[in-house]
Amino acid sequence: MSRGVVTSVDGCNEISPILSVREFFDKCRLSLNREALDCQPPDEEISFESLAAALGVQEETVRQLSDICHEDKLVCPARPEYLEDFDVVNDGIPEGVDLMSLREVKRLQEKKKPVKSRAKNEKEINHMPSEELQKMFGTQVQKFEPIEKPEVVLTITVYQANNMRVHREYLFLSSQPLYALRDCVVCDSDNIVSTDHSENPWDTDAQIRNKDVCKSAFLFIENIFYIDKRDPTARDYSRVIMDWASRRSLKTPNVGNMTSRLMEGVTFRDINIRLGFPYLYCHQGSCEHLVIFKDIRLLHCSDPQNRLLYPCMTFRTREYKTRCMICRIYLARWITVNDELAMQDPSFFCKKCFDALHYTEDGQKVCKFEAYPIMNPEKNQEN
Ligand SMILES: [Zn+2]
Ligand SMILES: [Zn+2]
């Protein structure tokens, strides 16, 4: 973040003053040269001589630093070159190689189910990029759509529902619509199936999730409610809050200066933000997530240049996965309540244990219970 554009607020160096994304974009456009705006990498490599002059040290010192920090120095001397092509899990550790890291990888892999793919091994050994980062590098997106330069990139952190833990972090282009942020929030409350399916657990077509029924949501940024009304059945949650606020404003003057706009047609470039300030995303009536704009900067040549890769996830927290309460092996696919056969309420079951415990061979219920499928597409899909 350029210091000239955003400075810290007195007494708090984590929240910036309010800034217009469009103003930031215009300032960058007017103050930078064409090469920087087109985010071209520099034509020539920086010479040792110019680097020494910039750092205020001898050229010899820069050469020494370059030698010490060279990527070749990251290779462990005990690791032979041919190890790149070696399948440690299936072929064992080669003779004469004594690396604790390989022994540990082998031990962990043997504990899990056997891994045949060599690529999977290398991921463990060489810390290859995660799925998301591969996506970032464009290996999973076949089409290419160029980004019109100059472009401003916003780093946005989305928190978990109703708590202060970071869930995911994304890069957004300032020309993207605001609903791109709403669309990339993944939340369990969207994926809950709220009707009892104990009578028809095999009918997957009848399993309608909350997000299929309730499409209402808003973002609250700088006293403006951005309402998602793309679906005609979506409700405007802001009206009831603004009515409450206007009544309250007689007693508390700071509450009440709120307005609302449709999210549709608004891009990030059209909004005002404070970096580091917690804003609100609300959906499913009362499921609330903090949203923080962490950074704003010009698109760089090292950023993905394919428009289709944005919003680009750069961080994702480890998802908590619930295991079956009977076998403790498979992930839970069903939640039961008021279950005569369960020790706890609610109880969690994998598909196999759920069927075996609750139904006869011809599919009849053996006791009273209510059952709700777990439908998160990214979690609990192992079995
Ligand atoms: Zn939520
Ligand atoms: Zn089970």
Which residue did the predictor score with more confidence, 34 or 128? 34
Q: Is the pTM of this model over 0.75?
A: no
Instruction: For 107-135, give the DSSP string.
Output: HHHHHSS----HHHHHHHHHTPPPHHHHH
Kindly report the backbone phi and psi dihedral angles of residue 291, in degrees, each rounded to the nearest multiple of 5, phi listed first: -130, 125
- If you measure from the C-alpha of residue 184 to the centroid of ligand 1, how many angstroms do you get, rounded to a whole number? 11
- If you measure from the C-alpha of residue 247 to the centroid of ligand 2, how many angstroms do you get, rounded to a whole number? 53
Ligand nearest to the CA of 217: 1
- If you measure from the C-alpha of residue 205 to the centroid of ligand 1, how many angstroms do you get, rounded to a whole number? 24
Q: Which residues surround ligand 1, an ion (CB under 5 A)?
A: 161, 187, 189, 287
Nearest to 176 by CA among 209, 153, 210: 153
Ligand nearest to the CA of 186: 1
- If you measure from the C-alpha of residue 323 to the centroid of ligand 2, how many angstroms do you get, rounded to a whole number? 8
Which residue type is seen at 167?
A: H
How would you write the chain as a 3-class SS string? CCCCCCCCECCECCCCCCEEHHHHHHHHHHHCCHHHHCCCCCCCCCCHHHHHHHHCCCHHHHHHHHHHCCHHHHCCCCCCHHHHHCCHHHHCCCCCCCCHHHHHHHHHHHHCCCCCCHHHHHHHHHCCCCHHHHHHCCCCCCCCCECCCCCEEEEEEEECCCCCCEEEEEEEECCCECHHHHHHCCCHHHHECCCCCCCCCCCHHHCCCHHHHCCCEEEEECCEEEECCCCCCCCCCHHHHHHHHHHHCCCCCCCCCCEEEECCCCEHHHCEECCCCEEEEEECCCEEEEEEEEEEEECCCCCCCEHHHCCEEEEECCCCCCECCCCCCCECCEEEECCCCCCCCCEEECHHHHHHHHECCCCCECCCCEEEEECCCCCCCCC
CA distance 279 to 289: 8
Percent of the chain topping pLDDT 70: 79
Q: Which residue has the tokens 């031990």?
A: 107
Q: Give the model's pLDDT for residue 326.
A: 92
Radius of gyration of the chain (CA): 27
The confidence band for 70, taking pLDDT boundaries of 50, 70 and 90, is confident
Q: Give the model's pLDDT for residue 378.
A: 56
362 Cβ contact partners less than 8 Å away, ≥ 6 residues apart: none
Q: Nearest 5°: CA angle at 285, between 281 and 290?
A: 20
Q: Which residue has the tokens 């989305």?
A: 158
Q: Contact at 8 Å (CB) between 300 and 32?
A: no
Mean pLDDT computed over 346-357: 93
144 Cβ contact partners less than 8 Å away, ≥ 6 residues apart: 138, 306, 308
- If you measure from the C-alpha of residue 355 to the centroid of ligand 2, how many angstroms do you get, rounded to a whole number? 10
pLDDT tens figures, 186-238: 888 888 788 888 888 887 776 788 888 889 999 999 999 999 999 999 999 99
pLDDT tens figures, 101-119: 888 877 877 776 554 444 4
- Structure tokens, 80: 């032979």
pLDDT tens figures, 54-63: 888 999 999 9
Q: Give the model's pLDDT for residue 178.
A: 96
CA distance 177 to 108: 44
DSSP helix/strand/coil, 286: coil
Q: Give the model's pLDDT for residue 103.
A: 82
CA distance 155 to 9: 20
Q: Give the model's pLDDT for residue 379.
A: 55
Q: For the chain, first and last CA: distance in Å?
A: 45
Which residue did the predictor score with more confidence, 377 or 122? 377
pLDDT tens figures, 79-91: 666 666 667 777 7
**Most confident residue range from 5-14, 139-148, 345-354:** 345-354
- If you measure from the C-alpha of residue 279 to the centroid of ligand 1, how many angstroms do you get, rounded to a whole number? 14
Q: Which residue has the tokens 């190890």?
A: 83
- Structural domains of the chain ordered from first start: 75-136 (no CATH), 152-316 (3.10.290), 322-383 (no CATH)
Cβ atoms < 10 Å from Cβ of 381: 12
Q: Percent helix, strand and coil across the chain, each rounded to 5?
A: 30, 20, 50
Q: Contact at 8 Å (CB) between 245 and 239?
A: no
- Structure tokens, 136: 């970032």
Is the pLDDT reported for residue 122 higher than 60?
Answer: no
- If you measure from the C-alpha of residue 356 to the centroid of ligand 2, how many angstroms do you get, rounded to a whole number? 9
Ligand nearest to the CA of 352: 2
- If you measure from the C-alpha of residue 173 to the centroid of ligand 2, how many angstroms do you get, rounded to a whole number? 44
pLDDT tens figures, 254-298: 676 889 999 999 999 999 999 999 999 999 988 999 999 999 999
- Mean of the per-residue pLDDT values for the chain? 81
Ligand nearest to the CA of 325: 2
The confidence band for 246, taking pLDDT boundaries of 50, 70 and 90, is confident
Q: What is the DSSP letter of 188?
A: H
